[in-house]
Amino acid sequence: SKVGECLGMPAAELMTAQDDCGVPTCYLPLRQMALLYARLASSDFIEIERVVRAMVHHPDLVAGEGRFDTELMRLTQGELVSKSGAEGIQCVGRMGEAQGLAIKVQDGAQRAKYAVAIHLLRQVGWISPAIAEDLSEQFSALSDTKRLEVSGELKIL
């Protein structure tokens, strides 16, 4: 019901399912995901603000050590709230600014969603070049065990 309230729609209209981490989630178009994260980061809903503050102050409890969401929230020191979802979903909200970003990688690839997220966050000025470089080294670099053959492309549309 709080999700519906944040989006200004009746809770009965929300379709829900379980995400890959076992949490009930709502089926939403990207525009509504971005709007939801903008509202989550805006402090307009006190009950939700408590959850979001807990996320940014304890990012290791959101995704675990060494995971993208944890590192992004840790490196930005509470300025961004971030949560990955199944099948290439990544959502980020800018705390206190009522701004949200939602990404969907069509094939569901994690490597692609992290590369896109880092690029977009840098382009909109939500992260510094140093943070972008740190995140890229951790989440966008090819491992030594992979062959360097072009088998597709990664681009921002």
- Domain ranges for the chain: 2-139
Tell me: pLDDT of 88 over 70.
yes
- Kindly give, in sequence order, each residue whose CB lies less than 8 Å from that of residue 113, ignoring residues fewer than 6 positions away: 84, 88, 89, 90, 103, 105
- pLDDT confidence tier of residue 110, bands split at 50, 70 and 90: confident
Lowest mean pLDDT among 30-39, 43-52, 131-140: 43-52
The pair phi, psi for residue 40, each rounded to 5°, is: -60, -40
**Cα distances (Å, whole numbers) of residue 4 to 15, 33, 61, 91:** 11, 12, 25, 17
The upper half-sphere exposure of residue 75, i.e. CA atoms within 13 Å in the direction of its Cβ, equals 23
Give the number of other Cβ atoms within 10 Å of residue 84's Cβ.
23
For 24, the enclosing helix (H) or strand (E) is: strand 24-27
Global pTM reads: 0.84
Question: Which two tokens mark 65?
Answer: 């050590």
Quick one: pLDDT at residue 152?
A: 60
Q: Are 115 and 56 in contact (CB under 8 A)?
A: no
Share of the chain above pLDDT 70, in %: 88
- Asked if 86 and 120 count as a contact pair (C-beta separation under 8 A), the reply is no
User: Residue 112: which pLDDT band, with cuts at 50, 70 and 90?
Assistant: confident
State residue 147's pLDDT score: 56
pLDDT for the residue 144: 58
Please tell me the predicted confidence (pLDDT) of residue 145: 57
- Token pair 């807990």: residue: 54
Mean pLDDT, residues 76-97: 94
Average of per-residue pLDDT across 81-92: 93
